[in-house]
Amino acid sequence: MTIDTGPFAGEAADRTAHADELVGRVQHHLKTEQHFDPVGWRASELLRGLAGLDLPTRVGGAGASAADMTDTFRRLGRIDLELRDIAGAGHARLLTHARTRRFDPLLKDVASGAAFCAVAITEPGTGSDLHALETVARGGDDGFVLNGTKQHVSRIEECTHLIVLASVFRPHARITAFLVPSDAPGVSIEAMSPMGMSSVSWGRVRLEEVSIPRENRIGGEGEGISLFLRHFSYWRVMMAATAIGSAQAAVDAAMERMKTREAFGGPIGRFSHLQLALAEHVASLRMAWLLVFDAAGRLDGRDTAITEAAMAKAEAVERAIHAVEWAMTVFGAAGYDRETGLEKRYRDLAGMRMADGTTDVLRGQVARSLLGDRLYEAGLGRDGDHEALNDIPRRLFW
Ligand SMILES: Cc1cc2nc3c(=O)[nH]c(=O)nc-3n(C[C@H](O)[C@H](O)[C@H](O)COP(=O)(O)OP(=O)(O)OC[C@H]3O[C@@H](n4cnc5c(N)ncnc54)[C@H](O)[C@@H]3O)c2cc1C
């Protein structure tokens, strides 16, 4: 039996050619479609194969490496940051960490573009502090009943399923992940208004006495945060790559403007302060790309790379925002005009600074790895059992 290992099989040169071809197809789609709909497009015949790129071959995916995927996300980000939703399984990839084949039928649907999973973690009362989540799951062997409210959930209207983090009390809270069909009785959604990334929906979801079978628990009770961290390590690296791509396109546009825009009798690119800033932004984005490259290599080597992914996402997004902001100034008033597209990149990246872990929180994770748990916990005002806390810094590259 031959296994179709998908578009990313073969030598590096082949993979680059496939990635070029895929990105070309997306660009073609962008030109021909009336409505920008990255999630909806996943099911289209022309873009077949994109949705399953980073899923295992057994569910119809291509099994692409994290390194290959970063390049795809970067190229898509160059076009538009919101194309982060067109390639790969998105948050459905969390299901691959559940040590079961139970979710394979759903993952097959994700690979074909027929299904899509949103992730519902943030609540009105808490976002960064996962231990303070208030959504509750009652039950056990016969299934679970979920109650709570989640908000700021991206792709809430497009998704077929929600991956929900909720606490099971036995007697202490054990944060657990659940798969909830978005049309399950008791699920209601309400739109919210983001300032960027608005080609997909964003909103609040209420879970009122939502019954789900036991099989919809993802992983074991109390494994929600570790599943979340494993998945978000990968996702943060991909988002870092997308952010870098978006900023690269802005810097390209700024370089062109430096050559063509004239002021005081010559091209503005002759001004050395613009030249030096250009060099600084390009170096900064390259440094961020090396963090992405390093984290992706570790993920491919089966390291969870939690700290490296946090570092890559925080630094890439911040570098990207600064670079786009600079590109806007190079354009003068035209940079403030929607027509140049820079303001959209800026607004989208501002959302990414918060989404999937804020820059501050991710930098806090890096500091925790360097300093050990004791100072980190003290910073959060949690006394804890200091004797039991791990005070041994993790070995980072220094
Ligand atoms: C575009 C976008 C898409 C999103 N998509 C989703 C989604 O699909 N699903 C979902 O569940 N959520 C989603 N979110 C929500 C996102 O995950 C949260 O915004 C994020 O986790 C932060 O939570 P919060 O907004 O409640 O901020 P808070 O946790 O209230 O933080 C507020 C401020 O305090 C800072 N802060 C908090 N704790 C610390 C700390 N320990 N150290 C230093 N600073 C700290 C933060 O950095 C931030 O600046 C999305 C958000 C955005 C903007």
| 144 shares its domain with 48 | no
pLDDT at 89 over 70: yes
Pick from 103, 314, 375, 76: which is nearest to 213 by CA?
103
pLDDT at 106 over 50: yes
| 240 shares its domain with 372 | yes
Which band of pLDDT confidence, cut at 50, 70 and 90, is reported for residue 5?
Answer: very low
| 133 shares its domain with 268 | no
The predicted-structure confidence for 204-239, as pLDDT tens digits, reads as follows 999 999 999 999 999 999 999 999 999 999 999 999
CA distance 171 to 134: 15
| 239 shares its domain with 336 | yes
Q: Is residue 375 part of a domain?
A: yes
pLDDT at 391 over 70: no
CA distance 250 to 259: 15
Which amino acids bring their CB within 6 angstroms of ligand 1? 118-122, 127-128, 150, 152-154, 194, 197, 351, 354-355, 358, 360-361, 364, 380
Substitution site in 152, 157, 313 for ligand 1 pocket (most atoms within 8 Å of beta carbon): 152
The predicted-structure confidence for 35-52, as pLDDT tens digits, reads as follows 899 999 999 988 988 999
The rounded Å distance from CA 129 to ligand 1 centre is 9
| pLDDT value of position 199 | 92
The rounded Å distance from CA 126 to ligand 1 centre is 8
| 231 shares its domain with 339 | yes
Q: Dump the DSSP string for 170-223.
A: SSSEEEEEEEEETTSTTEEEEE---SS-TTS-EEEEEEEEEEE-GGGEESSTT-
Residue type, 266: G
| pLDDT value of position 367 | 92
| pLDDT value of position 173 | 92
Among 78, 112, 146, the domain boundary falls at 112
Number of structural domains found in the chain: 3
| pLDDT value of position 1 | 33
CA distance 83 to 73: 8
The predicted-structure confidence for 351-382, as pLDDT tens digits, reads as follows 999 999 999 999 999 999 988 888 888 888 87
The predicted-structure confidence for 327-336, as pLDDT tens digits, reads as follows 999 999 999 9
The predicted-structure confidence for 123-153, as pLDDT tens digits, reads as follows 999 999 999 999 999 997 899 999 999 999 9
The rounded Å distance from CA 276 to ligand 1 centre is 34
Pick from 136, 116, 23: which is nearest to 69 by CA?
23
pLDDT at 121 over 60: yes
The rounded Å distance from CA 58 to ligand 1 centre is 35
Q: Is residue 394 part of a domain?
A: no
Contact 99, 107 (CB under 8 A): no
Substitution site in 192, 235, 354 for ligand 1 pocket (most atoms within 8 Å of beta carbon): 354
Of all residues in the chain, what percent carry a pLDDT higher than 90? 81
CATH of the domain at 102: 1.10.540
Q: Is residue 208 part of a domain?
A: yes
pLDDT at 171 over 90: no
What are the respective helix, strand and coil percentages of the chain, to the nearest 5?
50, 15, 35
CATH of the domain at 293: 1.20.140.10
Among 112, 127, 145, the domain boundary falls at 112
Q: Is residue 130 part of a domain?
A: yes
| 248 shares its domain with 367 | yes
- On average, the pLDDT of the chain sits at 92
The rounded Å distance from CA 18 to ligand 1 centre is 35
| pLDDT value of position 329 | 98
Structure tokens of 6?
């998908």
pLDDT at 3 over 70: no
What average pLDDT does range 307-325 have in this prediction?
98
| 292 shares its domain with 365 | yes
| 175 shares its domain with 130 | yes
pLDDT at 4 over 50: no
| pLDDT value of position 2 | 35
| pLDDT value of position 398 | 55
| pLDDT value of position 201 | 96
Lowest mean pLDDT among 19-33, 85-99, 144-158, 290-304: 19-33
Q: Is residue 312 part of a domain?
A: yes
Q: Give me the residue label for tokens 């959930």.
A: 153
The predicted-structure confidence for 186-209, as pLDDT tens digits, reads as follows 999 999 999 999 999 999 999 999
Name the residue range of residue 172's domain. 117-221
Which band of pLDDT confidence, cut at 50, 70 and 90, is reported for residue 393?
Answer: low
Which band of pLDDT confidence, cut at 50, 70 and 90, is reported for residue 386?
Answer: low
User: Which ligand 1 atom is the nearest neighbour of the CA of 360?
Assistant: 47
Of all residues in the chain, what percent carry a pLDDT higher than 70? 93
CATH of the domain at 169: 2.40.110.10
Substitution site in 94, 122, 158 for ligand 1 pocket (most atoms within 8 Å of beta carbon): 122
